[in-house]
Chain A
Amino acid sequence: MNAYMPYILCLILFCIGIYAVLSKRNIIKIILGVVIAEYAVNLFLILVAYKTGGRAAIFSATENIPPQSMVDPLPHALVLTSIVIGLATTAFMIALAIRLYGKYGTFDITRMRELRG
């Protein structure tokens, strides 16, 4: 179980984010929830990539680093992309939140229910 503990903690972080989206009424909190969930997913990727005693995947001019000792570089590349996507989503949602505040005069999601039925 110990070997899976980081994953489970990471999952808990993800759940906290989801919880925020689920139960908070303030739209900023909802955005924060999405952001936290995003962090959790990114973290998960990096956790998956880690190799015990591994070294960062950069070769050095001064030191000879065996390629076998490097951690998995592919998830790192994926995380970079995923971080950017997260930033893009966040920025967009913030813009929406600002406009919504201007239109509705509140951050309360339960009062933004013109579309229903």
Chain B
Amino acid sequence: MIELYVLLGLMIAGAIIAIEVKNLLSAVVAVGIVGLGLSIIFLLLKAPDVALTQIVVEIAAVILLIRATLHRDIALKPCGSRPFGGFLAILFLGLAVLAGALTFSGGLNPFGSPLMTVSEFYPMNAVAGTGAVNVVSSVILDYRAYDTLGEATVLFTAVVGVLTVMRSKGKKKEEDLQGNNE
């Protein structure tokens, strides 16, 4: 239990650093730490598939995020907060925790004892039903393969979206249109 708390604390600390640090590169690195800590938690909570995916995605995201910070000189410029932001944030945080605390005590299962209604089915029948030893794999690619189709499509959409956004010229100029007509 204690390692979970320590790691969660590490993630929270990392997140605060990521948000409050002035240097953008440092912020990105701090987010990287948060993501890697998340991955360790996944590993410890017996979710190896997710942990593996989280690592690779984390690195990919960090690389992309670094790309976004463009030039070093900008990264080192300070970037402020909007006024009242801190106050509001604390207020909101308090409210959220309060709401969470109130709610968790009435309905959410305690940590460590999930309500496995449908999920009991999967470990029992996965090998016989799908032939995959990895139950998670059998869930994502057989029982819920349709979700995975959606997931693949989301990524495809993002790729086309990035291509779209990165076009240097979106609309044709008048002269181009003339050229086309002729």
Q: How many residues of A contact B (CB 8 A)?
A: 82
- The number of inter-chain residue pairs (CB within 8 angstroms) is 272
Considering only residues 92-128 of chain B, those with a C-beta below 8 Å from chain A are 92-93, 96-97, 100-101, 104-105, 108-114, 116, 118-120, 122-124, 126-127
- Whether a CB of chain B sits under 8 angstroms from the CB of A12 is yes
In the complex, are the beta carbons of B111 and A50 less than 8 A apart? yes
Considering only residues 3-27 of chain A, those with a C-beta below 8 Å from chain B are 3-20, 22-26
CB distance from B47 to the nearest CB of A (A): 5
Q: How many residues of B contact A (CB 8 A)?
A: 90
In the complex, are the beta carbons of A98 and B79 less than 8 A apart? no
User: Per a CB cutoff under 8 Å, which of A6, A60, A73, A97 touches B119?
Assistant: A73
In the complex, are the beta carbons of A19 and B92 less than 8 A apart? yes
Q: Mark B24-50, 1 if CB is under 8 A from A, else 0.
A: 100110010011001001100111111
Docked complex Cα distance between A13 and B138 (Å):
31
Quick one: given A9-B5, A19-B93, A42-B38, are A84 and B27 in contact (CB under 8 Å)? Answer: no
User: Per a CB cutoff under 8 Å, which of B8, B89, B135 touches A19?
Assistant: B89
Considering only residues 39-61 of chain A, those with a C-beta below 8 Å from chain B are 39, 42-43, 46-52, 54-61
Interface on chain A toward B: helix, strand, loop, or mixed SS?
helix
In the complex, are the beta carbons of A19 and B110 less than 8 A apart? no
A–B complex contacts, Cβ < 8 Å, 20 sampled: A1-B101, A1-B105, A12-B12, A18-B92, A29-B79, A32-B27, A42-B50, A58-B136, A59-B135, A71-B114, A73-B119, A77-B144, A78-B147, A80-B136, A81-B148, A88-B154, A90-B65, A92-B158, A95-B166, A107-B79
